[in-house]
Amino acid sequence: MKIINTIEELQTIRKELKGTIGFVPTMGALHEGHISLIKNARVNNDIVIVSIFLNPTQFLPNEDLDKYPKKDAADKRICELCKVDYLFMPDVNSMYQSNDEISIKAPKITGFILEGEKRPGHFDGVLQVVLKLFNLVQPSNAYFGKKDAQQLSLISQMVKNLFLPINIVECDIIREADGLAMSSRNIYLSIEERKEALAISKSLNMTIIAVTKGERDAKTIKTKMKEIMSNLDVEYVAIINRNFEEIQTIEVKNTIILIACKVGNTRLIDNMWI
């Protein structure tokens, strides 16, 4: 595996690459969720490129940019074991040339609900950095987790709206054995909070059981979910279709149920695709 730290080096190497390129953008502190994306890329491409870049423009001023976990040595080892060809780890000054760059705006409706409402500006930053990375890496296939469902949807829309010749691959959510969705932020949780956080996946699992038994009413399901998560500081529970429009009646194969909540000081998101 070759580690690339500069943009110039990446561009020089990229010119010589032949075959399909699978790209996995991450912010590091890699876990099984990231690994599943990398494995998917490895199986389906000639060359695999992973990026690790803690992107400041997608963090709000009061968020955890400064304390976001950094595990460069372990991350490099993981990428090596997963047979990644190139690990791109640029520094912030090379990715951003000034504070007043040409920017990209998330769409007014789907970019400003749910995460976009709770974290204004977040998706502008996500789209900005992903577009920069796409332009540098020029992947055939780019891998994103359903864990960040709204991000995945907006990136797919960006690819479509801006005619980018990239196939976006949606990857399933990877969970701990007890159901907690894997996240780099889970390490912030105390032992007690970690237990409390299980209410999130429990409430999502309940929705599957309810829908299997025939329940289709979104309001009823939301009420039951909030009961299960009554100990948590729930920011939102949303039931939407795959176009991110709120729905009253669950449509099987066209519904996503999303949760954002705070467990202690840690903000967690999770969802279930039904």
CB of 26 to ligand AMP, least distance (A): 4
- Alpha carbon distance 69, 102 (integer Å): 29
Question: Looking at beta carbons only, is 166 or 218 nearer to ligand AMP?
Answer: 166
Residue 17: CA atoms inside 13 Å, Cβ hemisphere, count? 22
Question: Looking at beta carbons only, is 139 or 145 nearer to ligand AMP?
Answer: 145
3-state secondary structure of 65: coil
User: Which residue in the shown chain puts its C-beta closest to ligand AMP?
Assistant: 145
Amino acid at 235: E
CB of 172 to ligand AMP, least distance (A): 6
Tell me how many degrees the CA angle 123-66-52 measures, rounded to the nearest 5: 60
H/E segment holding residue 20: none
Question: Looking at beta carbons only, is 199 or 218 nearer to ligand AMP?
Answer: 199
Residues lying near ligand AMP in the complex (CB under 6 A)? 26-27, 33-34, 36-37, 144-145, 147-148, 171, 173-174, 181-184
CB of 128 to ligand AMP, least distance (A): 14
Question: What CA–CA distances, in Å, run from 170 to 106, 150, 240, 246?
Answer: 20, 12, 18, 21
Which residues, 6 or more positions from 109, have their beta carbon under 8 angstroms from its beta carbon?
244
Question: Looking at beta carbons only, is 185 or 216 nearer to ligand AMP?
Answer: 185
Three-state secondary structure readout of 199-235? HHHHHHHHHHHHHHCCCCEHHHHHHHHHHHCCCCEEE
Question: Looking at beta carbons only, is 181 or 238 nearer to ligand AMP?
Answer: 181
CB of 34 to ligand AMP, least distance (A): 5
CB of 19 to ligand AMP, least distance (A): 23
By annotation, the residues acting in catalysis are: 34
> DSSP character for 68?
S
Find, among 11, 25, 248, the residue nearest to 133 by Cα: 25
